[in-house]
Amino acid sequence: MRSFYRNLLLAIVLLALFVISVPASAATSTLHVNVDGKAAHFQAVTTGNLVFLPARDLANLFDADLTYNADEKELTLKSAKKKAVLNIGSSTIVVNGKKVSLDASPMIQSDTTLVPVKASAVIWGASYGWNEQTLYIHTDGSPVSVPAVEKTFVKSQTVSLDGKNTAVHYILVPKASHLRADVALAQNAIGQTESLQSIAKRSSAQAAINGSYFQNYDSSKAQDPYGILIKNGKLIHSENTGSAIGFTSNGTAKIGIVRSHVTATVGKHNYSVSLVNHTPAANSNTVVLFTAARGSATDCALGTSVVVQNGEVVSVVAKKSAAIPSNGYVLLFTGDKAAAAAEIKKGTKAAYNVTYTNQAGTAVNWSDVQTAVGAGPLLLKGGSNVVSPAKEGFSDTTGFDMVTARSAVGVAANGDIILVGGVKCTLNQLASIMTQLGAADAICMDSGSSSGLYKPNTMVAAPSKAISNALIFK
């Protein structure tokens, strides 16, 4: 589809949005967009009783050019047969020279131009409808049939464990619900803790389960997680133990033993990064990457920190915490590695690259994963019990045979997500539970006092302690 940006001025316009009246229940939520029966690669954002869509995507849908006159506050949409002129603050638009009234006026909020969705019908004859989850657009004007809203379901099922019947409460996230997975960090930063309920409420989660294992036995240390964390397609934590569950942008789940590999390039030299946003041991010889997901500073007084901003080294800091730029990162060199960092000069170009492999080192395609949480061990693959903690790198496996509160995430053959939390059982019993609930693939999450499960206004299972992160659906 041809580009509609003709000059630099249009780039300054940023995002233009379309607005429609919706039920109050949709306020402050996010709607997915379906165009002519296919999922669009953009979302609708609701505020109050208004829904907003990116105008540049709408312009592409109708093969229209978009221009903006900042002096006149005038927005022009022009396709092959239609030309529409809209003015900020006026509910009247001009379509092919004819004035037409809209139900609301275009406006600018936070440098973003907002346009009533009625304009799409008036200009191009489109039809539309929506529910609490999805906006449906038919560009040819044909009638829109809006499906009923599917949300998460709290269910209960009796399962058999070693000949005894046990009731298990769980949350089902239907594949068709359009809810998407996300990683929610305690206090919005790695190395902090917060209650599952608080994390979920603050994140507007429709379902939440405790996430990765984390360090919580030594109050003098950062409450760092263990395992992979991916948020918005970016690796925000890595400590290669266990397995992980990941989700692509369309909600497809991937479960397996995945190892992240980070290579930092500073000048002409490449460095293997062992940890991401994880505090190294005091006697370590390693390179650690700290990003803004860690917070404002590394809070680590070890070795030598190389601060990178906008792809360039801006400072080198020895044996003290370094500030983490919002538009950059910090490379911490500890032990024997620190000597190399001391030679790095300001102004040196720097970058890093992330790849993923299986445990054997064979590349796996996780480039499309937007969200991932590492925990483990795996419980099920293809319907079979694959429990093997030692194989995944867990050094102490004795606790997996204990009966304790446990959490798990499973994926049914049809793509539905099954969340279990607070169920007292052994690891192998947990695998059996997930099988009986209909999971084909499943992974164990952090357990014991961290185990919890949340749905709005319902704590299906409440952890007895604060946690590091959660896998949420919203």
- What's the CATH code of the domain at 102? 3.30.457.10
| Domain identity same for 337 and 425 | no
> At which of 306, 326, 355 does a domain end?
355
pLDDT tens readout for residues 306-329: 999 999 999 999 999 999 999 999
What are the tokens at 368? 């499309």
Total number of domains in the chain: 3
> At which of 307, 331, 355 does a domain end?
355
Residue 307, number of CB atoms within 10 A of its CB: 22
Residue 145 domain flag:
no
| Domain identity same for 264 and 337 | yes
Measured on CA atoms in the order 83, 86, 91, 97, is the torsion positive or negative?
A: negative
Whether pLDDT at 264 is above 70: yes
Query: Shortest CA distance to 382 belongs to which of 442, 447, 425?
Result: 442
Domain carrying residue 68: 8-138
Residue 171 domain flag:
yes
> At which of 138, 173, 196 does a domain end?
138
| Domain identity same for 346 and 373 | no
- Region of 97 please: left (phi>0), alpha (psi -120 to 50) or beta: left
Mean pLDDT of 336-347: 92
Q: Do strands 30-35 and 259-266 pair parallel, antiparallel, or not at all (unpaired)?
A: unpaired
User: What does the pLDDT read at residue 11?
Assistant: 40
Q: pLDDT higher for 157 or 22?
A: 157
Whether pLDDT at 19 is above 50: no
Mean pLDDT of 93-102: 93
